[in-house]
Amino acid sequence: MSAFREALGGLQPERGEAGPAGRRWLYVPADQLTDRVGPLATEPPGELGIVLLETLWRPRPRVDHKQKLALALASLRHFAIEQARRGVAIRYEVGDAPYAELLEPVARELGGLRMMEAAEYEMRESLEPLVQSGLIEVLPNETWMTSRAQFVETFAESGRWRMDAFYRRVRRDSGILMESGKPVGGRFSFDPENRRRWSGEPPAPEPPRFPVDAIKREVTDLIDGSLGHHPGRLDPARLPATRADAETLWSWALEACLPCFGPFEDAMSVDSRNLFHTRVSALLNNGRLLARRLVEDVLALDIPIASQEGFIRQVMGWREFMRHVHAETDGFRRLPSHGQPNALGAREPLPPAYWGTPSGLFCLDRVVEDVWETGYGHHITRLMVLSNLATLLAVDPRELTDWFWVAYVDAYDLSTCRNEDVLVLADGDYVVRQHTMHARTHRGQDYTNVYCFVFRFDDQGRIRYLTEHWNTWHAYNVLFNNFEIEPAHPLD
Ligand SMILES: Cc1cc2nc3c(=O)[nH]c(=O)nc-3n(C[C@H](O)[C@H](O)[C@H](O)COP(=O)(O)OP(=O)(O)OC[C@H]3O[C@@H](n4cnc5c(N)ncnc54)[C@H](O)[C@@H]3O)c2cc1C
């Protein structure tokens, strides 16, 4: 790590009054890379020091996408340099041990640490003994826009967690997109306007590329070398690892994506991976961009309300809602008001197709290819293709969640366990389409879920056969084990 260490070394304070010893120290996890909130925003940089940990330890084998690892490491190193330039002292620890193991001796040496509450279950759990022993003082995590009280109070009566109820509550509390107590435009959601097909017009923007510097190169060399067995393609020009890169990405999103965000937010196309999605999730999740600022910038845009509201609902609604659900359920380990995290009793392994073995299903193969190529896919491909098929195939939700976790650059333990009321339309030889229905799993359990049609096309693209699958086990065999389709409804 010579380029990084050299750059950092040249910026470190000398011993003495302004040196490391006289400072108040913070631990900054890799998903809090910001000086816009918390002590880094309010206390003089010359009085502060931060500890950053670079550890490749994992509690269980998790073969993260190379691009994801590269973004994490390059962002951490660049954040260290940026903070050192502000005059903050840096303690950059590298190791291969759990967070607590690396942090404990440092915390003792520095006389204790403060940190904003970790968003990740795994880190909270690992650091708990240090918190209990008083070595770490936990401060509120100010990167979020909403409070636990808002979430808990919204559902105090119903006991059912619904995003729309939470979102309305947050809109009312914050006054965002509200006028005299009423939602701007007369409605809280403009979803009916936001379901347009995209047929190529207006053209979808190309995401920006970012300068490749010595630190990014060093990180990509490290990953290509000792972590070369990890999956996915590594593209150093697609790493928004510096503060300046984050600003470039966000300016592009505001200008090129937001005006058309709403109408096409639920569209899928093989001609654009991105459509008008902003790709900011990885930077929201690592703290480079803050939700509050994104919402303020989008409110300041002169764009149609359907796009403005559509984006704000994702960031202030869905994202915050999922964060509270995640916190209340200990990272989906227990779901008090919804039963077990595996309500369908699904236990099948994830098919090899998710790791890149061609399945013959055009939609699945295409989305999977995109993910391993870029570490990205927008929410519709995640939900409607990957999650839907996995639900139909009775894949163990934990396996699917773990797959999302390693495959996506932005993935930080957000759950994919509960996807319902879904509709899938896939291209190519087969089309799978689902409707909500009551059905029975192959293990004999009743559930309200989806209903699967398999269409087979002839050479001219006309539907040749249609079969309905009342149980997911049979659909699995038809789609993946090449079982003969019984033409329940031959169409010619
Ligand atoms: C099955 C499934 C798994 C997902 N896993 C993750 C994950 O691991 N990590 C993650 O950050 N997001 C996850 N999401 C949410 C969402 O798909 C991604 O955040 C989004 O696609 C990122 O792309 P973008 O920044 O271009 O989003 P845009 O469409 O431009 O949206 C802007 C921002 O809104 C938020 N957002 C958008 N859609 C959602 C949503 N459905 N739920 C919560 N927040 C949303 C994200 O922060 C996103 O950056 C998942 C969604 C689904 C359906």
In tens, the pLDDT along 99-144 reads 899 999 999 999 999 999 998 877 888 899 999 999 999 999 999 9
pLDDT value at residue 401: 81
**Closest-CA residue to 293 (of 319, 316, 270):** 316
Which residue would you say has higher pLDDT here, 352 or 334?
352
Count CB neighbours of 461 within 10 A: 7
What average pLDDT does the chain have?
Answer: 83
At the second CATH level, the architecture of 2-139 is 3-Layer(aba) Sandwich (3.40)
Q: Which atom of ligand 1 lies nearest, measured to the CA of 281?
A: 49
Q: Is the pLDDT of residue 32 over 90?
A: yes
pLDDT band of residue 473 (cuts 50, 70, 90) is low
Stretch among 47-61, 78-92, 351-365 having the lowest mean pLDDT: 47-61
* Structure tokens that stand for 334 in this block: 């227990």
Q: Is 343-492 in the same CATH topology as 148-328?
A: no
pLDDT value at residue 343: 59
| b/e 462-478 (16+ beta carbons within 10 angstroms → b) | eebbbbebebbebbbeb
Q: Is the pLDDT of residue 492 over 90?
A: no
Rounded to 5°, angle at Cα 60 from 56 and 63: 60
pLDDT value at residue 59: 42
Stretch among 164-168, 234-238, 442-446 having the lowest mean pLDDT: 442-446
pLDDT band of residue 488 (cuts 50, 70, 90) is very low
CA–CA dist 354, 368 (Å, integer):
6
**Residue from 161, 295, 298, 314 whose mutation best tests the ligand 1 pocket (most atoms within 8 A of CB):** 314
Q: What percent of the chain has pLDDT over 90?
A: 55
Q: Is the pLDDT of residue 247 over 70?
A: yes
**Residue from 238, 379, 414, 419 whose mutation best tests the ligand 1 pocket (most atoms within 8 A of CB):** 379
pLDDT value at residue 171: 98
Q: Just give the CATH number of 343-492.
A: 1.10.579
In the chain, where are the structural domains located?
A: 2-139, 148-328, 343-492
- The single-letter DSSP state of residue 381 is I
CA–CA dist 270, 362 (Å, integer):
10
**Closest-CA residue to 68 (of 405, 400, 331):** 405
Strands (E), 73-161: 89-95, 113-116, 136-139
pLDDT value at residue 163: 83
Cα-only R_g, the chain: 24
Pocket residues for ligand 1 (CB within 6 Å)? 277-281, 284-285, 314-315, 318-319, 322, 378-379, 382-383, 387, 404, 408, 410-412, 414, 416
Q: Are 449 and 424 in contact (CB under 8 A)?
A: no
Q: Is the pLDDT of residue 417 over 50?
A: no
- Phi (first) and psi of residue 465, to 5 degrees: -130, 150
Q: Identify the top-confidence range among 16-20, 45-49, 403-407.
A: 45-49
CA–CA dist 455, 269 (Å, integer):
20
Sheet bearing 446-457, strands edge to edge: 430-440, 446-457, 463-469
Stretch among 3-12, 343-352, 366-375, 402-411 having the lowest mean pLDDT: 343-352
Question: pLDDT for 64-82, tens place per residue?
Answer: 999 999 999 999 999 999 9
Q: How far is the CA of 286 from the centre of ligand 1 (A)?
A: 14
pLDDT band of residue 352 (cuts 50, 70, 90) is very high
One-letter identity of residue 195: R
**Residue from 121, 162, 266, 281 whose mutation best tests the ligand 1 pocket (most atoms within 8 A of CB):** 281
pLDDT value at residue 193: 81
Q: How far is the CA of 382 from the centre of ligand 1 (A)?
A: 9
Q: Whose CA is nearest to atom 8 of ligand 1?
A: 411
Q: Are 409 and 375 in contact (CB under 8 A)?
A: yes
Q: Which atom of ligand 1 lies nearest, measured to the CA of 253?
A: 30
Q: How far is the CA of 281 from the centre of ligand 1 (A)?
A: 6
**Closest-CA residue to 389 (of 406, 409, 366, 414):** 366
Q: Which atom of ligand 1 lies nearest, measured to the CA of 257?
A: 30
- The single-letter DSSP state of residue 210 is -
* Structure tokens that stand for 155 in this block: 């559902």
pLDDT value at residue 192: 78
pLDDT value at residue 223: 93
CA–CA dist 462, 257 (Å, integer):
35
Q: How far is the CA of 474 from the centre of ligand 1 (A)?
A: 31
Rounded to 5°, angle at Cα 471 from 457 and 371: 65
CA–CA dist 465, 485 (Å, integer):
8
State whether CATH 1.25.40.80 applies to domain 148-328: yes
DSSP H or E run through 53:
strand 48-55
Q: Whose CA is nearest to atom 9 of ligand 1?
A: 411
Q: How far is the CA of 255 from the centre of ligand 1 (A)?
A: 20
pLDDT value at residue 393: 79
pLDDT band of residue 430 (cuts 50, 70, 90) is very low
From its phi and psi, is residue 461 left (phi > 0), alpha (psi between -120 and 50) or beta?
Answer: left
CA–CA dist 164, 171 (Å, integer):
10
Q: Which atom of ligand 1 lies nearest, measured to the CA of 387?
A: 1
Q: Is the pLDDT of residue 467 over 80?
A: no
Helices 305-312/291-299 angle, 10° precision: 170
